[in-house]
Structures are given as structure tokens and as C-alpha cells.
Chains A and B, each alone.
Chain A
């Protein structure tokens, strides 16, 4: 980005140049935030509701615009028009400031999201460390919200969320290490540069240990993002709305925007670390075409991850608090250490890597996925054959249409 601004600014010097840089940064940042982050956080709520509806044999939102696509805009307008209520007993400054902290933690992560070889706001040399650090701000915001509301539901939800997020930060950080070990760098572009376009060249398939690391990172990231099956912080059935109980209108929307937008951050991180990022084969020397293809591949992979998370949310029940904590400390932390140490041992034992092991890991994963697909197909077919309308004669007319 700096090189691009340099060509644009020509030989401007001194203060003029600094201001030019600043203007460029603000424009690029605004394009990313208002052109991608904001619409994405909205559209994904619509997509999620549509996908759930499809999974649960419902229709879902289908009135506003084609396929209900404009539902997210309608929701946004509705929320902006809602009255903003702050309880009298709440700690007002903290209560009002909490959504800002959450938003900073969420928007800040997009500095280092590598959309393509050239399209990245800033390729920091500590990229992945920076992202884990800045997304931790979300915990502070949630705790502030929970505490300042002066409501028991909020307090419990906030403390639960904080405990969960900090606990799962340990396995999440440890599960980043296999990819970093293999790349020898913390920069996002550097990590992607060490992987290839072909699936078996991704870090995920380097050895069984990195495969384990991938699984652990995905699970821990889900828990850090407060997603089902780990969404205890706002478990409706026990805590009303958790830390957001006292929030209304736009203020609560901000929390949920950050939560849904975080889906993309998680998807992008998984894609970068283990799924080969934007890597495509060199099919042309036209840089514009190359970058477009790279953006397409990166978006495809990260949106596939987002779809997978939505699918999980529609499928899995919520875990209990004690199960959640036991899973983190008793299983995921030791397994993550095993993954890190195993990868390091592999690197010492086989400095050039083992192609056979790589292909074997890849083959096993492909086999499992194919088996799973066949199983799903089998059950779907069986469910269709079993004509459930005939079971209750009275209901058959309404259902068969």
C-alpha cells in the first residue's frame, strides 16, 4: 500500500507527503470498514437465517427484496430508530463506552487480513500476534458491558464470557504455533507464501500434528467468538441475553455486529494459517487478473469456513459450563501442546518434510470427507423415502402442498 501511495504522491515532500499518506490510509481503511466489514456483518445475519431455515425445513426471511436479501438493511433501520435505554442504576460512562471497545477490537483485526497478494492494509511483521492481541480487546468490552449494567444476568453473562474467552485463548494461541513453526514468520503474507496452491501443499496437511492444530484452532476460535456450541455468555434459556441484557436499540446491535463480523475474522485466520490463504497457480502475468483470482480464492475459502460455522450452529446443542471449562483445560491445552511439540519434532527429524506423510494425511482427510458426504446423502434419501405426511393423516393436506 505504501508503494502505491508513493507512485500517487510523486515527489511531494515533508508535511505534504505525511498528509498524503494519512489521507491514503484513511481512504483505504474507510473502504475496508464501510465497504466490506459493515455490509458483511449485516449480510451474514441474513445468510445465517436463510441457511438455518433451510436446514430446519422452514422458509426464513423472504419478504424484503429478492429472497429477503434486504432484511439486514431493514433490521438496521429498525434498530437505529429504537429508543436508547440506560438503566438508572447502571454505571453510565462504562455502559456507553463498552460497545466502542468491542468495535475497536473487531475492526482492528482487519488491518492484517490478506485478501490477496497485494490487497492487504498493512502486512505487519508481527501480523498474527497483533490479531490475537487486538481481538482480546473484545473481552474487555464484554466485561465492561456486563459489569456496568448492574444487572445480575449481565454480570453473570459478562464474567462467564470473560472466563470462556480467556480460557480458550490458550489453546487458540498454541494452535497457531504449528503454522508459525512451518513458516518461520509471524507475517500473514509470509505464512501464506510458505504454502502452495494445491490442497496438499497447505499447512493443514503437513503432518497429523498440524491437522490436529487446525482442528484445535477452529474449535478454540469458535469458543473465543462466543459461537454455538460455546455461546454460554448469552445463553437465552438461562441468562436472558447475557451481558447484553440491558442494552437496547443500536447499542446492542453494535455488540451483535461485532459478533457476526468476527465470523469472517475467524474464517480468514483459519484460511491464512492452515488452508493456503489466497494461493492460486500462476496462470497469468497480469497482476490485476492474478489479484482478482486470489481475492476470489481467499473469499471462497473463508466464506466456506463461515458457512461451516453457521451449519454447526444449526446442528449442535450448547455445552454446559463445566463441560466447557473441562474441555478447554483438560483436553485442548494438552492436545495443543502435543500439536506444537509434534510439529517441532517433525521439523527436526525430517528437515525437508515428508511428501509421503503429507499425501497420506491429505488422503485420510479426503476419505473422511467423502465418507461423511455419503453418510449425509444416505440419511437424506432415507428421510425422503419415509413419507412423514402419511404418519398423521390429518396433517397431510397442509404439508403436501
Chain B
């Protein structure tokens, strides 16, 4: 048992060693001529203006929040689906099935709520004062300020 899990450590070590080996090998062979122009940020040839660590669109956070809820759900279903076959063999299958149904129904209600609130819609129209509703793209340039 512990032996099996030790293998994971070995593979993590190998996963770190592999890039380290290649970068190390490359360091011996590759040229190294840094200059100021070469080390600037790539912005399609334009002068770089300001920092890129900016506020980005809130909808990414919304998706992350919804993800957390459903990921927790998946984590809770894992043990149930694993033992479900044994329960069916014991004759407790119907009981377990109804329990899963209730659990999933509550979460589906959550999904329906998020859906009707419009949080799943990626393109939203933003009503600015006195303007026509105007769609914004995620991280669109209108939010980028220096």
C-alpha cells in the first residue's frame, strides 16, 4: 500500500527532473546574449504601456465560484458511486438511488438558479448611462487603464 503511494513521489521527482535536465543541458549549449530590446514584453511591435497585472473581468471569478460548488459535489459523489454496486447487491440500491437523486436535485436547483440569474451567459450587455447596451468581451480593452 505505502509502496504504491511512494511511486507517486518518485514520479513527481522524475517530473521535476525531466525539465531540469533539459534546461540544464540547454544552458550548456544555448547562446546567451541578452539585450534591452530583446527582453521587453511582446506586444505585437507596439510600445508597451503600463503593467499587465490589471483587474480583469469579474465573470472569470463567477465561473470559478460555480466550479467550486460543483467540484465539491463531485467530490461527495465519488464515495457513493464507488460503493453503489455493493449496495445494490445488498438490496439497498433503491434507498441509495433516492439519496443520490435528492442530492443531485438540490444541486440542479442551484444550476437552474445560476442559469436564470444569467451568470452562465458569457456575453452580457452592459448598460452604461444613457448609452445603448453594448457587449463587452472578457478582459476587453475598455477596462484596461494605465
Residues of A within 8 A of B (CB): 1-2, 21-22, 25-26, 29-30, 33, 38, 80-90, 99-100, 103-108, 110-111, 121-124, 129-130, 134, 147, 149-156, 159-160, 162-163, 166-167, 169-170, 173-174, 177, 180-186, 240, 245-246, 249-251, 253-254, 321-322, 325-326, 329-330, 333-334, 337, 340-341, 344-345, 347-348, 351
Contact = CB atoms under 8 A, between A and B. Distances in A.
Contact of B44 (A103, A106, A240): A240
B138 A321 contact: yes
Given A150-B53, A155-B56, A341-B104, A2 B3 contact: yes
A106 B139 CA distance: 29
A375 to B, nearest CB: 34
B26 A250 contact: yes
Nearest to A254: B19
Contact of A334 (B51, B74, B77, B111): B111
B19 A322 contact: no
A320 B8 CA distance: 37
Given A80-B26, A83-B32, A155 B52 contact: yes
Given A129-B78, A181-B84, A184-B85, A80 B30 contact: yes
A130 B64 CA distance: 22
A159 B42 contact: no
Categorize the interface residue count of chain B. Answer: 35 or more
Contacts of B10: 22, 25-26, 29
Interface of B: 3-8, 10-12, 14-16, 18-20, 22-23, 25-27, 29-34, 38-44, 48, 51-54, 56, 60, 63-64, 66-67, 70-71, 74, 77-78, 81-86, 88-89, 93-94, 96-97, 100-101, 104, 108, 111, 115, 120-123, 138-139, 144
Contacts, number: 225
Contact of B16 (A86, A89, A104): A104
Nearest to B135: A322
A182 B88 CA distance: 11
Give the residue among A25, A121, A130, A249 with the most B Cβ atoms within 10 A. A25
Contacts of B51: 89, 150
Contacts of B81: 177, 180-181, 340, 344
A212 to B, nearest CB: 16
B122 A321 contact: yes
A240 B42 contact: yes
B74 A103 contact: no
Given A30-B14, A81-B29, A99 B40 contact: no
B22 A85 contact: no
13 contacts: A84-B30, A88-B39, A89-B48, A111-B8, A134-B8, A150-B53, A153-B43, A155-B139, A183-B85, A184-B83, A186-B82, A341-B100, A348-B94
